[in-house]
C-alpha cells in the first residue's frame, strides 16, 4: 500500500483493509461451519451460521459508509481512488459469500432424516476445502497487492467448476438408482452450487486486485469448467 503525506488518509485505507480482512475471516468460518452443519445435520450449528451472517452484512455497510466518506473528504484520484473502489467491490463480493454460506445452513434446517448418502459428502468436502484455500489466497493477494497470486486464484476457479460438474453427475446416478435418494441429493446439489458460486466470487475478488494494482481490467476470458447447465438426465430405455 502506498504511503501518503496525509497520515489520516493512510489510516482510512488501513481501516478499510482491516474490515475486509475481518469479513474474509468471518466468511471462512461461515463456510466451514455451514458445511459441518450439513454433513452432521446439525440444526443448532446451522442456526448459528444464519444468525452470524448479520455481522458480515454490518461490516459491508461499514465499509461502504467509510469508502463514501473518504471519497467525499479526500477526493482521491488514480491509484488512490482504485484502492477505495476496490475495497467497496471486494466487500460486496464477501457479503455475497456470506449469503451463500447462509444458504447452505438454511438447507440443513430443511433437511430431513429420511435418506443420507455418507460417501456423497466427500466430494462436497473436497470442493469446500479448495474454495476455502482460494478465499484465503485471494485475500492474501489483496493484502499484499500481489497480482501473480491473484492470477493464480483466477486460473484455479475451473478446478472448483470441474468438481461441481463431477458431483452433479454422481448425484444423478444416485437419484436414478433409487428415487428415495432424490430429496437428499437435491439438497446436496444446491449446497454444491452455493460452494461453486463462492468460488466465482473469489475469482471476482482476484480480478479486482488486478485492477487495483494495474489500473485496467483483465483482457483474458475467464476459464470455466462448470458443465452442470448442459448435463442432461438420460432417458430410461
Q: Between the CA of residue 204 and those of 121, 144, 191, what are the distances in Å? A: 27, 17, 20
Q: How confident is the model at residue 38 (pLDDT cuts 50, 70, 90)?
A: very high
Residue 8: the pLDDT is: 82
Confidence band (pLDDT; 50, 70, 90) for 66?
Answer: very high
102: in domain: yes
- With a cut of 50, say whether residue 234 has pLDDT above it: no
C-alpha cell at 57: 452484512
Position 236 pLDDT exceeds 50: no
The answer for residues whose C-beta is within 8 angstroms of residue 31's C-beta and 6 or more apart is 97, 101, 104, 128, 131, 132, 135, 195, 198
Nearest to 73 by CA among 5, 2, 1, 6: 6
Asked whether residue 49 is assigned to any structural domain, the reply reads yes
pLDDT at 224: 67
Q: Is the pLDDT of residue 232 over 90?
A: no
Q: Does 206 map to a domain?
A: yes
Q: What is the DSSP string of 78-129?
A: HHHHHHHHHHHHHHHHHHHHHHHHHHHHHHHHH--SS---GGGHHHHHHHHH
- Contact between 90 and 120 under an 8 Å Cβ cutoff? The reply is no
The Cα 130–Cα 128 span in angstroms is: 5
> Sign of dihedral through CA atoms 207, 208, 214, 219?
positive
Residue 127: CATH number of its domain: 1.20.58.220
Please report whether residue 17 resides in a domain. yes
> pTM for the whole thing?
0.89
More confident of the two residues 232 and 56 = 56
Domain that holds residue 143: 7-229
How many domains in the chain? 1
In a domain, 2, yes or no: no
Amino acid at each position: 500500500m502506498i504511503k501518503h503525506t496525509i497520515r489520516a488518509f493512510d489510516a482510512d485505507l488501513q481501516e478499510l483493509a482491516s474490515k475486509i480482512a475481518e469479513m474474509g475471516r468471518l466468511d471462512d468460518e461461515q463456510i466451514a461451519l455451514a458445511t459441518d452443519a450439513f454433513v452432521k445435520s446439525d440444526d443448532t450449528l446451522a442456526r448459528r451460521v444464519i444468525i452470524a451472517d448479520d455481522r458480515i452484512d454490518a461490516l459491508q455497510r461499514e465499509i461502504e459508509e467509510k469508502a463514501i466518506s473518504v471519497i467525499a473528504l479526500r477526493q482521491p484520484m488514480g491509484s488512490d481512488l482504485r484502492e477505495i473502489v476496490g475495497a467497496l467491490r471486494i466487500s460486496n463480493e464477501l457479503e455475497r459469500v456470506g449469503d451463500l454460506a447462509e444458504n447452505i445452513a438454511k438447507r440443513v434446517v430443511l433437511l430431513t432424516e429420511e435418506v443420507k448418502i455418507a460417501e456423497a459428502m466427500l466430494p462436497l468436502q473436497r470442493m469446500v476445502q479448495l474454495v476455502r484455500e482460494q478465499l484465503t489466497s485471494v485475500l492474501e493477494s489483496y493484502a499484499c497487492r500481489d497480482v501473480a497470486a491473484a492470477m493464480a486464484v483466477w486460473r484455479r476457479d475451473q478446478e472448483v467448476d470441474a468438481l461441481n460438474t463431477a458431483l452433479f453427475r454422481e448425484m444423478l446416478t444416485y437419484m436414478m438408482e433409487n428415487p428415495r435418494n432424490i430429496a437428499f441429493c437435491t439438497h446436496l446439489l444446491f449446497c454444491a452450487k452455493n460452494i461453486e458460486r463462492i468460488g466465482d466470487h473469489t475469482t471476482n475478488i482476484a480480478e479486482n486486485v488486478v485492477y487495483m494494482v494495474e489500473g485496467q481490467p483483465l483482457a483474458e476470458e475467464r476459464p470455466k469448467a462448470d458443465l452442470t447447465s448442459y448435463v442432461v438426465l438420460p432417458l430410461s430405455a
